[in-house]
Chain A
């Protein structure tokens, strides 16, 4: 049982962490990014600045490159055979693609949640949440339990599952599984959370819960979300980027982009004139 001093110290720590995120410039800066699958090019000279402690949405029709772009932000793109990247992605000013950096370290600072909830099937709920810590060598039971509880509380899952932590991760409903995956990503204390269409596989109620969670998470983290649902982007995002055929067409504050887009292409897409 954590003492009160420990709790207080933790509060200060999280506030410090939150403040640490408020840096002078953009949290993530994409510079002249080109991405390839073998010989096929998927991204063309993308320049984008992701603001800290804000939600940025990537929208666009299928095949526009938004999923590719988000996977370049945490070096997941290069896990595909024959995939390569040209250009820079700066996290707090340092290029995550520099040879000096280990991709694994990048992914510990930039977490990801996927379209289809993917809790580890042969692990319990408790093991799932702390998997990122345990499988990276953390052995201290106390620390794991504490981290697990905190993460589950942050996604409002703690009360629902606290009596059933030993149950398999796959026994939860779709919405709960996705929140479990978010808790799992939060447990390793990343700075940025990437979400690739996190609500696509969920029903409207579960979707609403996740969206509310996203709005809360931005106080402590920077969130980038890919969505094919424009209304979702207009609900949750502070900034929206519209992409088409691998190029960034327009980027700006969500209200401005959705009320008076600057580019004709953006206007046509968001009013459904080419879907």
Chain B
């Protein structure tokens, strides 16, 4: 009967719309709360001052946490991006064999690896030898998280490049490594997307940092000392009872979310009009 199908249609459409609303509500409320609570904490002092003493009303900022996060993420990227991109190139261009398939499989597995497990690895390998929080352990853990993400994203981006380009290049007598470079240059935006998304991901990691770099109330003091980070601050300050510390935590949360949104916007800009190679 036509009217029954019409009714079914309406019911399903409303269910779908409701589901979307239900899915969006938490996200929207996160953004709302973080903005409401975090925006007031955004003042120049937030970026330049060290954390305040645990006294009510004490002034301070999270300058060292911002510095720490930038150092950690920056150095992790220096290791994670090259290894990730190169392994992605290998899997896509050279790895049509058992070894390559294994690398690909492991990459897929490690992408979903719990970050605390990576943290434990960093703890055992690099924390203990240095007898304390240190930069090497943190950077190591973060780069371990980054590599599979970048690798898989690179391999996917390269796979999307049509094989006609590889064929044309080979037929011109161009060497294999140069052909691979050509393919990569055709997938630039896809590779960049992977890199940016991996960076955004590790920016928001807390567990590995807790286990490896700990916390410092001072500016960066060398690789064998603890390093402050925004995520640690959110966890540590946010669960303390002190109002000024909680405010700073909200500020950190707000700042982090703004960074992540900025990175995602950059990804959008990169991939506009050329969705096929994303």
A residues touching B (Cβ–Cβ < 8 Å)?
Answer: 74, 76, 79, 81, 104-108, 111-112, 114, 116, 118-122, 131-132, 135-136, 181, 184-185, 188
B243 at interface, CB cutoff 8 A = no
In contact, A132 and B167 (Cβ under 8 angstroms) = no
Contacts of B182 in A (CB 8 A): 120, 135
Q: Which of B165, B168, B172, B175 contacts A188 (CB 8 A)?
A: B172
Q: Known: A116-B164, A118-B164, A122-B185. Contact between A132 and B170, CB under 8 A?
A: no
The answer to whether A104 and B167 touch (CB under 8 A), given A122-B185, A122-B186, A135-B178, is no
Check if A114 sits within 8 Å of B167, measured CB to CB.
yes
Task: Determine the residue in chain A with the shortest Cβ distance to B181.
Answer: A135
Q: How far is the CB of B7 from chain A (nearest CB, A)?
A: 49
* CA of A184 to CA of B175, assembled, Å: 16
Q: Beyond A132-B172, A135-B169: 6 further Cβ-contacts under 8 Å?
A: A76-B171, A81-B96, A120-B168, A135-B172, A135-B182, A188-B172
- Which residue of the partner chain A has the closest CB to B185? A122
Name A107's contact: one of B162, B165, B170, B178 (CB within 8 Å).
Answer: B170
Residues of chain B having any CB pair with chain A under 8 Å: 96, 162, 164-165, 167-175, 178, 182, 185-186
| Minimum Cβ distance to chain A for residue B163 (Å) | 10
One of A79, A105, A106, A131 near B172 (C-beta < 8 A):
A131
Query: Are A132 and B165 within 8 A (Cβ)?
Result: no
B175 touches A121 (CB 8 A): no
Given A122-B185, A135-B182, decide whether A107 and B171 contact each other with a Cβ distance below 8 A.
yes
Tally inter-chain residue pairs, CB-CB below 8 A.
64
Are A132 and B174 also in contact (CB < 8 A) when A81-B96, A120-B182, A122-B185 are? Answer: yes
Contact (Cβ within 8 A) A74 B164:
no
Q: Is the CB of B167 within 8 A of A184?
A: no
CB-CB nearest in chain B for A137 = B178
Nearest-CB residue, chain B, relative to A136 = B174
Q: How far is the CB of A159 from chain B (nearest CB, A)?
A: 25
Across the interface, A185 reaches (CB within 8 A) one of B171, B174, B178, namely B171
- Assuming the contacts A114-B164, A120-B182, A121-B186, asked whether A79 and B173 have C-beta atoms less than 8 A apart, the reply is no
Candidates A105, A111, A120; contact of B171 at CB < 8 Å: A111
Q: Once the chains are docked, how many angstroms separate the CA of A184 from the CA of B178?
A: 17
Q: Are B173 and A181 in contact (CB under 8 A)?
A: no
B245 CB, min distance to chain A CBs, angstroms: 51
Inter-chain contacts of A184 with B (CB < 8 A) = 168, 172
Cross-chain contact of B168 among A79, A104, A106, A181 (Cβ < 8 A): A181
Could you jot down 11 A-B contacts, CB within 8 Å?
A: A76-B167, A79-B170, A104-B173, A122-B186, A132-B172, A136-B174, A136-B175, A184-B172, A185-B172, A188-B172, A188-B173
Nearest residue (CB) in A for B97 is A81
Contacts of B170 in A (CB 8 A): 76, 79, 107
Interface pair A107/B186, CB less than 8 Å apart: no
In the complex, the chain A residue whose C-beta lies closest to that of B176 is A104
| CB <8 Å contact, A118 and B96 | no
Residues of B within 8 A of A121 (CB): 165, 186
CA distance A132 to B174 in the complex (A): 7
Nearest-Cβ distance from residue B275 to partner chain A, whole angstroms:
14
Report B234 CB to chain A, min CB distance, Å. 42
Residue of B nearest to A187 (CB): B172
Interface core residue of B164, B168, B170 (most chain A CB under 10 Å): B168
In the complex the two chains form, is A104's CB within 8 Å of B165's CB? Answer: no
A107 neighbours in B (Cβ, 8 Å): 170-173
Q: Which residues of B contact A81 (CB under 8 A)?
A: 96
Inter-chain contacts of B178 with A (CB < 8 A): 135-136
A residues in contact with B185, CB < 8 Å:
122
A74 to B173, CA, bound (A): 10
Taken together as a complex, chains A and B put the C-alpha atoms of A79 and B167 apart, in Å, by 9
Nearest-CB residue, chain A, relative to B175: A104
Q: Give CA–CA (A122, B167) in the complex, Å.
A: 16
Question: Roughly how many angstroms separate A147 CA and B168 CA in the complex, as a whole number?
Answer: 19
Contacting residues, chain A, for B167 (C-beta < 8 A):
76, 79, 114, 118
- The verdict on A112 contacting B171 (CB below 8 Å), with A120-B182, A122-B185, A122-B186 known, is yes
- Contact A111–B164 (Cβ < 8 Å): no
> Which of B96, B167, B173, B175 has the most chain A CB within a 10 Å cutoff?
B173
- Least Cβ distance of A120 to chain B in Å? 6
B-side contacts of A114, CB under 8 Å = 164, 167-168, 171
Measured in the bound complex, the distance between the Cα atoms of B178 and A76 in whole Å is 17
Q: Within the complex, what minimum Cβ distance (angstroms) separates A183 from chain B? A: 12
Chain A CB count within 10 A is highest, among B96, B171, B173, B175, for B171
